[in-house]
Amino acid sequence: MSTWNYVVTAHKPTSVSHSCVGHFTGPHQLNLIVAKCTRIEIHLLTPQGLQPMLDVPIYGRIATIELFRPINEAQDFLFIATERYKFCVLQWDAEKSELLTRSMGDVSDRIGRPTDNGQIGIVDPDCRIIGLHLYDGLFKVIPFDNKGQLKEAFNIRLEELQVLDIKFLYGCIRPTIVVLYQDNKDARHVKTYEVALKDKDFVEGPWSQNNLDNGAGLLIPVPNPLGGVIIIGEETIVYCNANSTFRAIPIKQSIIRAYGRVDPDGSRYLLGDNTGTMHLLVLTQERERVTGLKIEHLGETSVASSISYLDNGVVYVGSRFGDSQLVKLNLQPDVTGSFVEVLERYVNLGPIVDFCVVDLDRQGQGQVVTCSGAFKDGSIRVVRNGIGINEQASVELQGIKGLWSLKSSFNDPYDMYLVVSFISETRFLAMNMEDELEETEIEGFDAQIQTLFCQNAINDLLIQVTANSVRLVSCTSRELVDQWNAPEGFSVNVASANASQVLLATGGGHLVYLEIRDAKLVEVKHAQLEHEISCVDLNPVGENPQYSSLAAIGLWTDISVSIYSLPDLELIRKESLGGEIVPRSVLLCTLEGVSYLLCALGDGHLFSFLLNASTGELTDRKKVSLGTQPISLRTFSSKGTTHVFASSDRPTVIYSSNKKLLYSNVNLKEVNHMCPFNTAAFPDSLAIAKEGELSIGNIDDIQKLHIRTIPLNEQARRICHQEQSRTLAFCSFKYNHDSMEQSEAHFIRLLDHQTFEFLSTHPLDQYECGCSMISCSFSDDNNFYYCVGTAYVLPEENEPTKGRILVFAVEDGRLQLIVEKETKGAVYSLNAFNGKLLAAINQKIQLYKWMTRDDGSHELQSECGHHGHILALYTQTRGDFIVVGDLMKSISLLAYKHEESAIEELARDYNANWMTAVEMIDDDVYIGAENSYNLFTVRKNSDAATDEERGRLEVVGEYHLGEFVNRFRHGSLVMRLPDSEMGQIPTVIFGTINGVIGIIASLPHDHYVFLEKLQATLVKFIKGVGSLSHEQWRSFHNDKKTSEARNFLDGDLIESFLDLNRGKMEEVAKIMAVPVEELSKRVEELTRLH
């Protein structure tokens, strides 16, 4: 049974909650620090833009981050507080380029009601105290001593129980806070308090201001000399201070949640509202007194959650609801009247409200199609593991044996010719004036024979290697300039060349080394090796890009790879590969400044070695499996970076990230040969030889997950795929900001599943919104339908009393409403169930039969139902079993009884879990996510002795994920190789508010036990940032209880084993009593789950 689960992140959180600017990594370095829920990113501002410096996980959900400058320090420290009441102060260690923990601690109280409005953490501008508002009615103070060290925290009783914001005021003799709160009658006021450190109490502050805008929600403290505070409301912005200055300005109704200070003196601020509009707020002043407020409309950005003004009009806009952006504020408006120019976008999948797993390319590899973003930033995103090749042209060609591109001259930036080799001929293609490929001739080349290698060489020459000869041809005249002939009785088997060198092997282990000198081929060296040579390479990895001092050679018989020095062909190093499979392709390459020797075998395995480019030493041998067929390796470059393409039955791009080799699938079935083909018409393209076809395509950005965005300008809520009609359908809605009455318009929309072109739209009624959607067929009807569950959400009702189930057929690319059935409430969930339709409607589970009337029309007829929930929000089915996730009452298990035509409850989990998603891992184990960011599994107890025990779902696993899960789906993001052990492991994908896509893999027990030990070992080697505890972070935690994580493993921690240095890896392996290679291999296999 699958109660042993491995949880790992496939796509990290991208939703930005906080950002701040300061001098963190050095007194003269300006940094942007971005918080993405459970991660911190540190960037350096350079003239070229933002340069990432560090991206680290935090063992907690970040509640607040703040940069501050302690007394006597030359640079800033970073204060982080997590939602589970831990805090730490971090400092940059410039020598090691890592974070140093200055202090950390726990600020939880045993008694106290956590604030409903989120936690507040602030640092006094004069660095005397840190203030925290974590529980209603309490203000926690962490004082600094005069050396800048934190002292013991204490609580001060705060009378205001419904606090909206608290900030420290500038320039006060004693630390002074301003509190924005709501009273018992829901009116909002601000009040100030001085913190009396000796008495550990508040002293009534210098001023207060009553009866503010009822939408007041944000305070901006203004630095000296102006001082005071700006209060941001929904319809007014107010400035007030201790001298009873009161200035107000009306604004168009909006919700402003993000601000960024432009000037250090606090006279200008950027404000971002919920419609994505950026405003500039100016405090007009006279002799250091505020005389008025001015607000200017700047333009549109993503809906901002944080705004950080960097420098020179460049601003970082962090967003929870759309892509974060780097924008430039121009002095002059553009044609649309906007002062905002977007310089860069940072992809954000959050919030992932729903998703479906589809195999659009029919490759046996799932892709996730999400409903991402909110408000105007809503979008559909197609997330695919691996790298996409977008085919631009293709031609049918059988029997291709090799592919090379050639330039028309050595210094030409673009390729001109494509050399296509066949078993007994070679054909030459060239780009013509119409940017089409047409056949041409290169007179000096031999076209009547298979080509083994082609290359542009120095002196504007072209090299062709065939079985008989090496030919040098002039680029300009295309005529033969020089020729080297294979010795009588020998033919060239394998060859490689670069701009000035040729290395070839003839039968009998003969190795011949040629150099191009003064447009002549000169045989420099000859050697005979003990075995036949299977592959050679002399791609330059040293200083000189035109000359290599190393050659790599693979041998038959003893199955080895060797490094030889050039020009003297001395053996430097030989690595025996073991096994019986011959190396078929070797490659010397440099990725991210690190040199490697790659060696691919005939069975799809690949060895990688770190190569010392000057000595030829090989270290850090690793072996991975890429496919099952022989691999051929070739470098290519995309956007100025070099990568390696491995052609095989599972074509793979090998690239380097953080100086680590990563392997990414390519969305092609089988590739025999590949060469870069960078032409003016097809820049950065590749020529690819597949079975019977030659195609030209360009390659996506090189990253592990590829994300395609279909912007909607409205918010998508539910999505599903219908293979039969080749469509995707989704429910979405648009806010109408223009009318006085805020309103929403809801739609069902249809997309082509390949082109993502909009095909059809079905608008819903006024107040009607789409709540659920599936594609299914029914008993005795082979057609597939989209079924949509809706609710009429009337603002005056506390719960819908009416909804509909709409059944659509796709006909000629249009949504045709076939059946409509009214329900007595919101249809929160739909499932195809025994050829019928199962709906969760408010409190009830209802089963409908699909009936065909005499006239051929259809209807949904209710068959039976089951009450027993507060709100039945999520349902999943398997056979006759139904699992229900309730608003508050955890998970329950129902069963459909065919004979009685009834649905009965079999068991439930009696804990009070507020569910956000459920899924059935298998027949007996179900997984749930709840709103305190935990995952848990429950098991059906069908073998228990008593009815009472059988009626209880046993909680078998608990884990704090730290993410709000909106959806689970069975499936996988990666190609599942049927022969590998990993291919057999069932996986569930989940999507979260912060844009995380995660994988839950159900492991065999022995595997789990081994990894559990590895996790326990790694905790000792990998310390959490700020010394936060991993064990505490992953412990199940809600307002009722905290208990140790069980039957779940943290894959993110386990896979970070691969980031350890060799020494640490060996220490871990020693504790695990497993050879380090084997341990690496086992962990690498895990990384292939996502």
The residue within the footprint of other proteins, chosen from 843, 1002, 1032, 1080 (CB under 8 A), is 843
The residue within the footprint of other proteins, chosen from 91, 101, 117, 709 (CB under 8 A), is 117
Site residue total, other proteins (CB under 8 A): 92
Tokens representing 1062? 């060799």
The residue within the footprint of other proteins, chosen from 825, 971, 1024, 1051 (CB under 8 A), is 825
Handedness of CA 109, 113, 118, 124 (dihedral sign): negative
DSSP E strand boundaries for 412-569:
417-421, 426-431, 437-440, 451-457, 461-466, 469-474, 480-485, 492-497, 501-506, 510-517, 520-528, 533-537, 550-555, 560-565
With residue 1012 as reference, give the H or E element that holds it.
Answer: helix 1005-1021
**Quick one: 385 or 823, whose CB is closer to other proteins?**
823
Least distance from other proteins to the Cβ atom of residue 948, Å? 7
Tokens representing 804? 């509909």
Least distance from other proteins to the Cβ atom of residue 535, Å? 54
The residue within the footprint of other proteins, chosen from 387, 769, 806, 1053 (CB under 8 A), is 769
Contacting other proteins within 620-649 (CB under 8 A): none
13 counts as binding other proteins under rule CB under 8 A: no
The residue within the footprint of other proteins, chosen from 667, 678, 846, 1035 (CB under 8 A), is 846
The piece of 496-504, 570-578, 823-831, 1052-1060 that touches other proteins (CB under 8 A) is 823-831
Least distance from other proteins to the Cβ atom of residue 377, Å? 10
Contacting other proteins within 517-536 (CB under 8 A): none
Taking the CB of residue 1010, how many other CB atoms lie within 10 A of it?
A: 16
**Quick one: 154 or 392, whose CB is closer to other proteins?**
154
**Quick one: 56 or 864, whose CB is closer to other proteins?**
864
Least distance from other proteins to the Cβ atom of residue 886, Å? 9
**Quick one: 290 or 791, whose CB is closer to other proteins?**
791
**Quick one: 589 or 903, whose CB is closer to other proteins?**
903
**Quick one: 184 or 336, whose CB is closer to other proteins?**
184
**Quick one: 682 or 848, whose CB is closer to other proteins?**
848
186 counts as binding other proteins under rule CB under 8 A: yes
Least distance from other proteins to the Cβ atom of residue 970, Å? 21
Angle between helices 1005-1021 and 1076-1087 (to 10 degrees): 110
The piece of 116-124, 499-507, 606-614, 680-688 that touches other proteins (CB under 8 A) is 116-124
**Quick one: 9 or 843, whose CB is closer to other proteins?**
843
**Quick one: 409 or 801, whose CB is closer to other proteins?**
801
Classify 19 as helix, strand or coil. strand
Tokens representing 988? 């569930």
Torsion, Cα 757 762 765 768, to 10 degrees, reads -60
Q: Say how far apart CA 251 and CA 271 lie, in whole Å.
A: 12
Q: Say how far apart CA 931 and CA 708 lie, in whole Å.
A: 29
**Quick one: 138 or 674, whose CB is closer to other proteins?**
138
Contacting other proteins within 353-412 (CB under 8 A): 353, 374
Contacting other proteins within 691-750 (CB under 8 A): 715, 717, 742
Least distance from other proteins to the Cβ atom of residue 732, Å? 12
Contacting other proteins within 794-813 (CB under 8 A): 794-801
The residue within the footprint of other proteins, chosen from 126, 234, 300, 859 (CB under 8 A), is 234
Q: Say how far apart CA 87 and CA 105 lie, in whole Å.
A: 5
The piece of 209-217, 328-336, 473-481, 1054-1062 that touches other proteins (CB under 8 A) is 209-217
**Quick one: 814 or 824, whose CB is closer to other proteins?**
824
Beta bridge partners of 707: 383
Parallel/antiparallel/unpaired status of strands 758-763 and 673-677: unpaired
The residue within the footprint of other proteins, chosen from 58, 80, 442, 826 (CB under 8 A), is 826
3-class SS string, 946-1010: CHHHHCECEEEEEEECCCCEEEEEECCCCCCCCCCCHHHCCEEEEEECCCCEEEEEECCHHHHHH
The residue within the footprint of other proteins, chosen from 46, 51, 149, 211 (CB under 8 A), is 211
951 counts as binding other proteins under rule CB under 8 A: yes
Least distance from other proteins to the Cβ atom of residue 900, Å? 8
Q: Say how far apart CA 553 and CA 535 lie, in whole Å.
A: 6
DSSP state of 144: B
299 counts as binding other proteins under rule CB under 8 A: no
Residue type for position 12: K
Q: Is there a contact between 626 and 645 (Cβ–Cβ < 8 Å)? A: no
823 counts as binding other proteins under rule CB under 8 A: yes
Contacting other proteins within 888-927 (CB under 8 A): 888-889, 900-905, 910-912, 916
**Quick one: 78 or 840, whose CB is closer to other proteins?**
840
Beta bridge partners of 605: 625
The residue within the footprint of other proteins, chosen from 137, 171, 313, 986 (CB under 8 A), is 137
The residue within the footprint of other proteins, chosen from 71, 113, 923, 1031 (CB under 8 A), is 113
The residue within the footprint of other proteins, chosen from 118, 542, 711, 983 (CB under 8 A), is 118
Could you give the strand order of the β-sheet that contains 915-920, starting from the edge strand earlier in sequence? 915-920, 925-930, 934-939, 954-960
Least distance from other proteins to the Cβ atom of residue 878, Å? 21
Least distance from other proteins to the Cβ atom of residue 883, Å? 17
Start-to-end CA span in the chain (Å): 22
Burial class (CB in 10 A: 0-12, 13-18, 19+), 918: buried
**Quick one: 162 or 834, whose CB is closer to other proteins?**
162
Q: Helices (H), strands (E): how many in the chain?
A: 6, 87
**Quick one: 601 or 997, whose CB is closer to other proteins?**
997
Handedness of CA 1018, 1023, 1024, 1025 (dihedral sign): negative
The piece of 93-101, 206-214, 336-344, 776-784 that touches other proteins (CB under 8 A) is 206-214
The residue within the footprint of other proteins, chosen from 593, 1006, 1040, 1063 (CB under 8 A), is 1040
Contacting other proteins within 141-180 (CB under 8 A): 157, 159, 161-162, 164
DSSP string, 271-336: EEETTSEEEEEEEEEETTEEEEEEEEEEEE-SPPSEEEEEETTEEEEE-SSS-EEEEEE-SS--TT
Q: Which residue has the tokens 């959607």?
A: 773
Least distance from other proteins to the Cβ atom of residue 277, Å? 15
Q: Say how far apart CA 257 and CA 254 lie, in whole Å.
A: 10
Least distance from other proteins to the Cβ atom of residue 1029, Å? 24
Q: Say how far apart CA 996 and CA 934 lie, in whole Å.
A: 14
Contacting other proteins within 976-995 (CB under 8 A): 993
Q: Say how far apart CA 580 and CA 577 lie, in whole Å.
A: 9
**Quick one: 83 or 415, whose CB is closer to other proteins?**
83
Least distance from other proteins to the Cβ atom of residue 85, Å? 15
Residue type for position 6: Y
**Quick one: 300 or 905, whose CB is closer to other proteins?**
905
Tokens representing 819? 């059946």
Q: Which residue has the tokens 């319809």?
A: 235
Contacting other proteins within 853-872 (CB under 8 A): 861-871
**Quick one: 780 or 900, whose CB is closer to other proteins?**
900
Classify 354 as helix, strand or coil. strand
**Quick one: 916 or 937, whose CB is closer to other proteins?**
916
